[in-house]
Amino acid sequence: MHGEVSLTPERQAFYESLTPANLAPLWAVLKGMMPPEPKSKAVPFRWSYESVRPMLLKAGELLTAEEAERRVLVLENPSFQGMSRTTSTLYAGLQLILPGETAPAHRHTASALRFMIEGEGAFTNVDGERTTMRPGDFVITPNWAWHDHGHEGDQPCIWLDGLDVPIVQFFETIFSGGYDGKSQSVTRAEGDSLARFGSGLLPLDEDGRRYGATSPIFNYPFERTREALVAAAKGGGSDPHLGTTLRYANPVDGGWAMPTISTWMTHLQKGEQTKPMRSTDGIVMCVAEGTGEVKIGETVLTFAPHDVVAIPAWSWRSFKASSDCFLFCFSDRVIHEKLGFFREERS
């Protein structure tokens, strides 16, 4: 682009005359609109699960899940305080449900995911099918699907919520609705979706698009994911930038499991270190297992089990594992790919 446009008193007076007419000179702001490369407003940040957990349990003492509708502590990026954003485009929070509680049924146009962190006995009911959530499970709540949560165990259950709320807000298309009753009736047997779509088989007379572009599987069990990653690491070796990474896929078309949020899990073996790479998507990472560190730009963050890390878009990132690691990640990559924005660089 050309050089700076000099500001003269005559030009300044002209610019000021444009304001009352709700006009602005493009040439004065063009460089800011079209920089040579993107620079995210988000900053790298780690939420220590060890530190957050006591505060979440305190919230459980102060109000019920039904009162709160969703008892969640939002993981706010320091650059977006008060805006409920973990990256520039994604929301994440830690949700608590206690034994015997019900988080009432509702639905919304935002797509949501759950990544189970702690506890046994919690379940999600999606459009009449219930699924028990176990640590490491990736659970989807499709756009506009009724969903509620319950807990039949005897210890607190905590999971990570991820939503595309900032994206839906940008398009001004947020709709939500409450259910007539606390929870839905169960109309399909538990495990029905996984049996029909999650075993390398598809129903002969059903196209699998019961949730539009969202995967018809809404619980991807960690047991299967972990087993696949360990076998893949032994069989094919590790990518120097990605370690051993497998993405969660929609069995109907092989694409991403969700239409607006990409999800994957990375396995790093003890001592493994990845080479730096960067991409245009902002990433939220949750540690399923293991310890290590992630370098984001010039910032080095250590991580332990269940910690959550925000990785801003177009920031160089690399990982070092001090023990065997399983890292769950979600980002807005799928939207970038559909719109032709996605880029990545590897050193």
DSSP state of 20: G
- State yes or no: pLDDT of 32 exceeds 90: no
Task: Identify the CA nearest to 163 among candidates 116, 122, 130, 114.
Answer: 114
Q: Is the pLDDT of residue 1 over 60?
A: no
DSSP-derived pairing of the beta strands 244-247 and 317-321:
unpaired
pLDDT at 217: 95
8: its two tokens: 């003269």
The answer, yes or no, to whether residue 185 has pLDDT greater than 60, is yes
Contact at 8 Å (CB) between 283 and 58? Answer: no
Percent of the chain that is helix, strand, coil (3-state, to 5)? 20, 35, 45
What whole-number distance in Å separates Cα of residue 331 and Cα of residue 58? 30
One-character DSSP codes across 75-114: ---GGGTTTT-SSSS-EEEEEEE-TT-EEEEEEESS-EEE
Predicted confidence at residue 78, as pLDDT, reads 98
The answer, yes or no, to whether residue 19 has pLDDT greater than 60, is yes
CA distance 312 to 126: 31
Q: DSSP label at 71?
A: -
What pLDDT, on a 0 to 100 scale, did the predictor assign at position 137? 98
User: Residue 41 gets which letter from DSSP?
Assistant: S
Q: Please answer whether residues 320 and 329 qualify as being in contact, where contact means their C-beta atoms are separated by less than 8 angstroms.
A: no
At residue 183 the predicted structure's pLDDT band, cuts being 50, 70 and 90, is confident
Cα gap 144→250, rounded to integer Å: 18
Confidence of residue 205 (pLDDT cuts 50, 70, 90): confident
**DSSP secondary-structure letter at 252?**
T
Residue among 269, 314, 262, 318 at smallest CA distance from 289? 269
| Residues 69-73: contacts with CB under 8 Å, at least 24 apart | 69/103, 69/104, 69/106, 70/95, 70/103, 70/161, 71/95, 71/96, 71/97, 71/103, 72/96, 72/161
Averaged pLDDT, 19-31: 93
Three-state DSSP class for residue 134: coil
- Paired tokens of 68: 């709160």
**Strands 262-268 and 244-247, how do they pair?**
antiparallel
Domains and CATH numbers, the chain: 45-346 (2.60.120.10)
Of the candidate ranges 31-40, 42-51, 199-208, 295-304, the one whose mean pLDDT is the lowest? 199-208
Distance CA(266)–CA(285), nearest Å, equals: 10
Quickly count: other Cβ atoms within 10 Å of residue 62's Cβ: 9
Q: Are 150 and 104 in contact (CB under 8 A)?
A: no
Give pTM, 2 decimals: 0.95
| Residue 123 scores a pLDDT above 80 | yes
Mean pLDDT of the chain, nearest integer: 95
